[in-house]
Amino acid sequence: MGAFARQVNKKMKTIIKNGRVLNVHTEQYENKTVVVEGDKIIDLVKSTDVVGKSDIVIDAAGKFILPGLIDAHVHVTSATVDLATPQLPVTYTTCCAVKNLAESLQRGFTTVRDVGGADFGLSMAVSEGIIKGSRLFYCGRALSQTGGHGDFRAATYDGEYGAPMQSSATTIGQIADGVTEVRRACRSELRKGASFIKIMAAGGVASPGDRVTDTQYSGEELAAIAEEVKAKGTYIAAHVYSSKSMQICLKHGVRTIEHGNLLDEETAAIMKDKGAFLIPTVITYDSLNRRGAELNFPVESIKKIGSVRVQALEAIRIARKHRVKVGFGTDLLGPLWEEQSNEFTIRSTVENPMDIIISATKINAEVLNQSGMLGEISPRAVADILILEKNPVEDISVLTNSANISAIMQAGKIIKNTL
């Protein structure tokens, strides 16, 4: 996958002193000095301790130090909000991906999980430093049944999915029907370095031919997908809205519920019992509701937003009540990527700031199977570090303005430093 392949000068030593470091396990700030060597945090000591010589010393007096943020639901290759748009040149979508990744990093997201569209080439470019952007985990192209959330063919078109009727959605998803096809699709994406498999297990807002309450994929198909990911020691992420669809997915071992807007109490209890994660993406509905029409989001899709937008926040309340692990995602398309950090403020209407920060760090690291490596500031963790001017626990909107981020370190490399 190459997510950690970036070459860093192993002898470079950086000390960050006098700051207040967030411990994501105790959810408390600690007066600690962070010692970084190469791409790792090698020590975390009391501010009064002497740590010896270093190549770089950053004085973070009066500042707040957080782990790099993680967005667990993105589409980095998205160039437009209308996925039915005729397929754009790969060179253009690649340039959009470079822009999205670079701007995401400047907002403090040192890592993102792409759930449809990105591939090993983009991941390699980031890992090798060719692209300066968020570290990239990816699933390749998501799996969709015919007529499912990944099928953007017009009802008037009766040909096969693909040329000459390709749309921008074909970079995000692929059609796979039946046990044989879903096995082949899983094996193909895993062969190309996917760290998980994404499935469209229900209808969606952006897809023209289904309803958000539709269930998609049969039990036999889901069982085959589950068997393939188990063989590779990875997991399934499922695009899903209704509780009925969620329960079907959970029965077949789906680990992360993407969106999950129509979650109910019964399903939340099942999620808790099975250790599944909810990855809300509240900002995408809010932004599409406000700006979709001006960006040519289809009228049919705008109508669908009303059926899930308000419930997105209610789903988070229910999940928290049942102690479901809640991650952090955004799912923004095209020009709406600029609203990525607004997920923090919109969720603050139902959650406290600390819970949201933990979602975007510790919990999302667990989603990525990177606990102890990402999403925390501790010895042996990757040195992804943010230094903030103000305390986001007191005011979560601090994270919505990059001017409040004094310094960004990714894998030991200083990306930004205004101190």
- Three-state SS at 198: strand
Cα–Cα dist 242/308, whole Å = 10
pLDDT of amino acid 350: 96
pTM: predicted TM-score of the whole model, two decimal places: 0.94
Let me know: does 140 contact 97? Beta carbons within 8 Å: no
At 339-382, the pLDDT tens digits run 999 999 999 999 999 999 999 999 999 999 999 999 999 999 99
Q: Where in 55-207 does DSSP place strands (E)? A: 56-59, 64-67, 69-74, 109-114, 135-138, 142-144, 173-175, 197-200
Q: What element of type H or E holds 265?
A: helix 265-274
Let me know: does 371 contact 336? Beta carbons within 8 Å: no
pLDDT above 60: residue 296: yes
Q: How confident is the model at residue 50 (pLDDT cuts 50, 70, 90)?
A: low
Token pair in block for residue 22: 């967030």
Cα–Cα distances (Å) from 363 to 72, 137, 236, 343, 352, in that order, read 10, 15, 17, 16, 15
Q: What is the mean pLDDT of the chain?
A: 91
Among the listed ranges 260-269, 299-308, 402-411, which one has the minimum average pLDDT value?
Answer: 299-308
pLDDT above 60: residue 226: yes
pLDDT of amino acid 167: 62
Cα–Cα dist 260/53, whole Å = 50
pLDDT above 70: residue 68: yes
Residues 6+ apart with CB under 8 A from 336: 81, 284, 287, 288, 291, 295
At 333-351, the pLDDT tens digits run 999 999 999 999 999 999 9
Q: How confident is the model at residue 214 (pLDDT cuts 50, 70, 90)?
A: confident
Let me know: does 144 contact 50? Beta carbons within 8 Å: no
State the SS3 of 216-261: CCCHHHHHHHHHHHHHCCCCEEEEEEEHHHHHHHHHCCCCEEEEEE
pLDDT of amino acid 4: 56
How much of the chain exceeds pLDDT 90, in percent? Answer: 76
Mean pLDDT computed over 203-228: 86
Let me know: does 343 contact 283? Beta carbons within 8 Å: yes
| Nearest Cα to Cα of residue 345 among 301, 400, 390 | 400
At 246-259, the pLDDT tens digits run 999 999 999 999 99
pLDDT of amino acid 168: 63
At 156-202, the pLDDT tens digits run 666 666 554 566 667 888 999 999 999 999 999 999 999 999 999 98
